Structure formats: C-alpha cells, structure tokens
Amino acid sequence: MNSTIQASESQEPALTSLSHGGGCGCKIAPGVLSELLAQMPVSAPFANLLVGTETADDAAVYRLNDEQALIATTDFFMPVVDNPYDFGRIAATNALSDVYAMGGTPILALAIVGMPIKVLSPATIGEILRGGQSVCQNAGIPVAGGHSIDSVEPIYGLVALGLAHPDQIRRNSDAKVGDKLILTKPLGVGVFSAALKKGKLSDKGYETMIRSTTMLNKVGAELAKLPQVHALTDVTGFGLLGHAHEMARAANVCVRVSLKDVPLLDGVLELAQDGLVTGASGRNWASYGQHVEGIVQEDILWRNLLTDPQTSGGLLVACDPSIADQVLALARSFGHESAAIVGEVVAGQGTVEVV
C-alpha cells in the first residue's frame, strides 16, 4: 500500500496528525524511565522469576518447569505512519520482537487498542487490527483476545507471550569481554518517520521503511540455540547507543561500536544531513550521553543517527568471535541482508565507546 493512502479518503484526519509522537519515538526517555523504575518498591524474591526489571531487559521470564520458561512482554504506541494497515503491522512486529530478543518463540498475543472512536471510522480501526493480525499469522500465533478503550490518541500494540527452554534464555546482561557485536537491521527508521511527517519521504523510501519495520526477528529463537551467542537485545526507541548502553551496564563491560560498520537504510544519511531527525534523538542523548565516549561527542550528525529511535528495529547480538560468520549467515537466511559486525565487547564498567 502506498504511503499516501490515508484515512483522508473518508474525510478522516491522517493517523499521525492525531498523535504527539509515533512508534518507539514516543517512549519515555531512558533517563526518566530509570528514575521512575528506581522509585518502585523492591518485590519479594521469586525463585522462578528468571528475568525481571533489574537489567532493563526486553521481557519478563518465568520458569514453568525444567523444560519451559514463559516469556511475557507488552508493547504499544501511537501511529508512525498514516496507512492504518501498515501501522498495525509495524506495531505487532515490534511487540513480538521482545520475545525473539529473549531467545523465545511466541505462542499467543492479546491486542491493546485505544482509539478516538468519534474521529476514526470502524473501517480504519479494523484495518489497524487486520494489520496486526496478519503479522501474528506470519508468526504462527493467534490474537486470542485483548482490551480496548476510547482514547484521545490512536494507540495499538500487543501483549506477547512466548516459550523457551530455560537454558536458552538470552539476557542483555551476559555479554562477555571479547565478544563480537552484530546488528541484524540497518538504522534510520526514526529519520524516515520524520521525513514522512514532513512529506519528504519518497515512495521508495516508504517501501524500504515498511519492509524493515515489518520483518519479524524470528532469527532470535534460532540464535539462542547456539551456546556461543551470549547476549541478545533488540534496538528500539532508545537507539543503538541506548540499547548498547543497557547491555554494557547490565554486563558491566564496555561496548565498542565501530562507526564505519554500522548499516543504514538507503537514503537515511542524506535525509539526516537535511536535518530530518526526531526529537527523541536529543532526549535519548540527554539521558545517556554522559556514558558514551568517542567521536560522536563532536559529530552531531552521527550522534543523531546512533540515537535515532528504531521502531521495530533489529537484534543486537553479542557472540564469541568463532561463530560471528555463522551468526551473520543465519541472520541473512532469515532475510536480514544488512546484518553486520558493528563492534566488540571490551573491558569496562557500563560504558559505550564509538570509534
């Protein structure tokens, strides 16, 4: 579907005009989120809770038995595109990513729906739900229920549940010194969304954006079967540097990012040079920039790209160097043609270095 097919055909406003932010760019800034979570009371220990809130990981994980662990997560946001079907697809793909990023396979989803029912028609809302359903069908799971409210801004997403063997859960905290870092999708979704809002994204650019944001991170479940893959996380609203920092902080290491090796969506660099960046880039840098060393301190262009909020972004993989080529080949077999080694893990104390 072309990006210009909008609800305006039925005298409805464009979806993105109804929201103050879109996609993962409307996440609460990481610094504010950390402050909020720090105020939460400490819960009593639960022996079977394998992953909670301690390391800002992608999902909660609860051991059911010696063979199964339940992965539970939720993700929702406001429109990043105006096409309702595409919005539903992007939101659902993004929500399921957290299960894959823990090394699991989704088993079912519940829909989260908040819509301005006096503004949007049932047909438009139905297209959003149909888009989400199509992605879940591709993942091989049902949308088994959900909850809806009348909301001022359009909101859609999923509760996603998945399963994995307890020994195959991949946390962001298990990266090891010497690991290679692999990114499975190119950066630039936030830049593309900013260009779309200003009417400066070409049809080809829109197609590139949709292809990236609707590609499921299924490879995560296969990567977790490799013992030499030590850590996984997905790159979303906090940008590459933000999620690299979460990995570095959780594992108490330094994540070194090689700028020349970071893949970008075609055309992103030119758009960023024209100033088409999101406000979330600045908020992200303000939250964790003090923990980042290297050339991005002075290079505003690349700082914006490395902090660019990725809606439904790729996986960041920390693995033993001996299987880096195998990881790349596996990622590409799942359609991630731009997968690349983007850095390494070195000794440090929760910092990121850009070289």
User: Which residues are 159's β-sheet partners?
Assistant: 74, 110
Active site residue 24: yes
1-28 burial code (b ≥16 CB/10 A, e <16): eebeebbeeeebeebbebbebbbbbbbe
Q: Which of 24, 136, 254, 319 is catalytic?
A: 24
3-state secondary structure labels for all residues of the chain: CCCCCCHHHHCCCCHHHHCCCCHHHHCCCHHHHHHHHHCCCCCCCCCCEEECCCCCCCCEEEECCCCCEEEEEEEEECCCCCCHHHHHHHHHHHHHHHHHHCCCEEEEEEEEEEECCCCCCHHHHHHHHHHHHHHHHHHCCCEEEEEEEECCCCEEEEEEEEEECHHHCCCHHHCCCCCEEEECCCECHHHHHHHHHCCCCCHHHHHHHHHHHCCCCCHHHHHCCCCCEEEEEECCCCHHHHHHHHHHHHHCCEEEECHHHCCECCCHHHHHHCCCCCHHHHHHHHHHHHHEEEHHHCCHHHHHHHCCCCCCCCEEEEECHHHHHHHHHHHHHCCCCCCEEEEEEECCCCEEEEC
- Residues designated catalytic: 24
